[in-house]
Amino acid sequence: MQSQVLESQPHREPSAQRDAFSELVYTHQSMVFSIAYAFLRDRCAAEEVAQDVFLELHRSVGSLESPRHIVNWLRKVTAHRSIDRQRRMRPLWALDEVREPAAPATPGDPMLKEALRALVASLPDKPRLVMILKYQEDMEASEIAEVLEMPLGTVKSHLQRSLKLLRDKLERKYGELSL
């Protein structure tokens, strides 16, 4: 809707266009930042990625047609910028290097959440993005395939393999929890 507002009123005052863009930023900033943060696990880097994404949106907002288009565009660009940023940063730790909590975790335990985030962060780029889009953005596999421009079968196999990996790892440590 915001894009339509910007696009359908070409003679709108620049200040009104700025307001519409600010509205877009306000609406989507947590989505963009959270995808980048879940992927990079670094708040500063995630903010830089999010800023770059919105700058890019500012340049191309006129060519985006619908709210759904904007959301998909933001997710896609955030995913790509996060991968680019990751390549410039030092590599994240490997799955086996993820530290294990000393005490058994309980449901809702912040340590378990942190362990899950760390485990997902240790996955390769594409499977990691698939997991983030699935569990943070609650997207269907077909939507993820569209955003990441990969075959649906690949998305599904990434999901299955990543979940199996996480389940195995977590069951060894948190066997008493129903995973």
Picking from 12, 59, 38, 2, the residue whose alpha carbon sits closest to that of residue 121 is: 38
Q: Using the rule CB under 8 A, which residue among 45, 70, 98, 132 binds other proteins?
A: 132
Q: Of 92 and 132, which CB lies nearer to other proteins in the complex structure?
A: 132
108 binds other proteins (CB under 8 A): yes
| Helix/strand/coil percent split, the chain, to 5 | 75, 0, 25
CB 111 within 8 A of CB 118: no
Residue 80: CB minimum distance to other proteins, A? 18
Query: Positive or negative, the Cα torsion across 11, 12, 18, 20?
Result: negative
Tell which positions 2-31 bind other proteins, by CB under 8 A.
6-7, 10, 17, 22, 25-26, 29-31
> Is residue 72 a contact point for other proteins (CB under 8 A)?
no
- Does 39 engage in binding with other proteins (CB under 8 A)? no
93: amino acid identity, one letter? W
| Closer CB to other proteins, 43 or 68, in the complex | 43
Q: Which of 170, 173, 136, 139 lies closest to 155 in space, CA to CA?
A: 139
79, 36 Cβ separation under 8 angstroms? no
Site residues, other proteins (CB under 8 A): 6-7, 10, 17, 22, 25-26, 29-34, 37-38, 43, 46-47, 50-51, 54-55, 58-63, 107-108, 112-114, 116-117, 120, 131-132, 134-136, 138, 163, 166-167, 170, 177-179
